[in-house]
Amino acid sequence: MHLDKTLIVRGAPQEFICRTGCWDELEQHLERRGIGSALVVHGEASWQAASSYFPEMTRTRVHFEKYNGECTYDERDRLIRAIEDRGLQAIVAVGGGKLTDVAKAAANSLNVPVIILPTLASTCAAWTPLSIVYDDSGAMVGFDVYPRGNSLVLLDPQVILDSPSELLIAGIGDTLAKWYEADVIISQLDTVPVEIEIARFAARKCRDDLLQYSVTALKALADKRLNEAFVRIVETNVMVAGMVGGFGDRYGRTAGAHSIHDALTYVPQSHRLKHGMKVAYGVLVQLTIEGKRGEIDALLPFYARLGLPASLRDMELDFLSRAERLRLAERAVEREASIHMMPGDITADAVFDAIERLERYTTSQPERLGTQGGA
Ligand SMILES: [Zn+2]
């Protein structure tokens, strides 16, 4: 594969701070930027926990706006009107990935700074200058990349400690895919420039640190007591994950695992599953297509410990008929799908075959069944 010379590096937000209590300095950071007024966009459930950490703003004119739960163009336009109607100067996003994405979309349309206070560490949305856009039914319609980086990220690990463990686990699943997807793409390049070496290093670091620290990090969440592993996993999911696409551009984005995820979004019964759970399953389908049984075997115990799905059965989607599974495979290989970043011609038959083989393999393993039965 020859390197496409249109590669653009978008390495980091303008400023990133990860420290307990860092939200308290929000107003000073706004003032350093000459911002005197802002729209604060927040969620519903996450705001109940996060609002107690949100600092009192004494010198800044603030309007609070609850977002509607999905990153759509309609929701972006609604936020744009909320800012324009009040003549506000910036957007402060307090929430998870989709809320952050819609705030970035509105900020970039208006050319105003976006400041991000994550309440979850389940995606790298706080880091990256792009938005994944969905339609009202929850199906993904595409993504937009912006020419301006996020102005500031204030990541407080103590706030993340109040988030549900299933969201951190889903984030771990999504971030784990960084390595498998970047590696399958970068391995095809005949020359690897230094920015793509950085992307690959970051991707490998995601996998290595997730495998090493996730279990201890989840213990922090269960005990509601910060530990070093937890802070490391939070920074891995937000920062190190964001560096993969940030330095690698299209060579550090998605490949097979996310195409499986995207195809699953057309199955209504999959909407209750978090993004990262479907991506984690997609990693195993991708590895099956690649014929990397050894990698799958290395991951399965980790999946079992964290409760990441290794089969349609684990996602309670094994009711899908043969025709529905074929349709799923066809969706995964649509013309624009990132699965085509993998080497060779990936056909619907190959994906269908991989789904079936993975299902047989992971649902027939006695030690795996034993682990689940005993959990
Ligand atoms: Zn993802």
Please state the domain count of the chain. 2
Domain end (from 161, 180, 203)? 161
User: 240 CB contacts (<8 Å, ≥6 apart)?
Assistant: 175, 202, 205, 206, 209
Residue tagged 């990698």 (tokens):
295
Assess if residue 108 is contained within a domain.
yes
The pLDDT of residue 373? 36
Domain housing 336: 165-364
CATH number, domain with residue 36: 3.40.50.1970
Q: Mean pLDDT throughout 351-362?
A: 98
Assess if residue 1 is contained within a domain.
no
User: What amino acid occupies position 147?
Assistant: P
Same domain, residue pair 149 and 175? no
Same domain, residue pair 208 and 308? yes
Range with the largest mean pLDDT of 4-13, 138-147, 213-222: 213-222
Domain end (from 119, 134, 161)? 161
How remote is the CA of residue 60 from the centroid of ligand 1, in Å? 35
190 marked among binding-site residues: no
26 marked among binding-site residues: no
Quickly state the pLDDT bin for 371 (edges 50, 70, 90): very low
Please answer whether residues 109 and 80 qualify as being in contact, where contact means their C-beta atoms are separated by less than 8 angstroms.
Answer: yes
Residue 129: C-alpha distances to residues 65, 259, 328 (Å): 22, 21, 30
Q: Mean pLDDT throughout 5-29?
A: 95
Same domain, residue pair 120 and 104? yes
User: 139 CB contacts (<8 Å, ≥6 apart)?
Assistant: 265, 266
How remote is the CA of residue 209 from the centroid of ligand 1, in Å? 18
29 marked among binding-site residues: no
Same domain, residue pair 234 and 359? yes
120 marked among binding-site residues: yes
Assess if residue 3 is contained within a domain.
no
Same domain, residue pair 153 and 187? no
Query: Which of 24-28, 120-124, 136-140, 348-352 is the least confident region?
Result: 136-140
Question: What is the pTM (predicted TM-score) of this model?
Answer: 0.93
How remote is the CA of residue 132 from the centroid of ligand 1, in Å? 9
Quickly state the pLDDT bin for 374 (edges 50, 70, 90): very low
Please answer whether residues 70 and 103 qualify as being in contact, where contact means their C-beta atoms are separated by less than 8 angstroms.
Answer: no
174 marked among binding-site residues: yes
Per-residue pLDDT reduced to its tens digit, 120-142: 999 999 999 999 999 988 777 88
109 marked among binding-site residues: no
100 marked among binding-site residues: yes
User: 187 CB contacts (<8 Å, ≥6 apart)?
Assistant: none
Same domain, residue pair 40 and 172? no
CATH number, domain with residue 266: 1.20.1090.10
Cβ count within 10 A of residue 297:
12
**Percentage of residues of the chain with pLDDT beyond 70:** 97
How remote is the CA of residue 86 from the centroid of ligand 1, in Å? 34
254 marked among binding-site residues: no
pLDDT tops 70 at residue 372: no
User: What is the maximum alpha-carbon separation in the chain?
Assistant: 62
Quickly state the pLDDT bin for 367 (edges 50, 70, 90): low
Please answer whether residues 153 and 118 qualify as being in contact, where contact means their C-beta atoms are separated by less than 8 angstroms.
Answer: yes
How remote is the CA of residue 169 from the centroid of ligand 1, in Å? 13
Assess if residue 123 is contained within a domain.
yes
Domain end (from 161, 182, 198)? 161
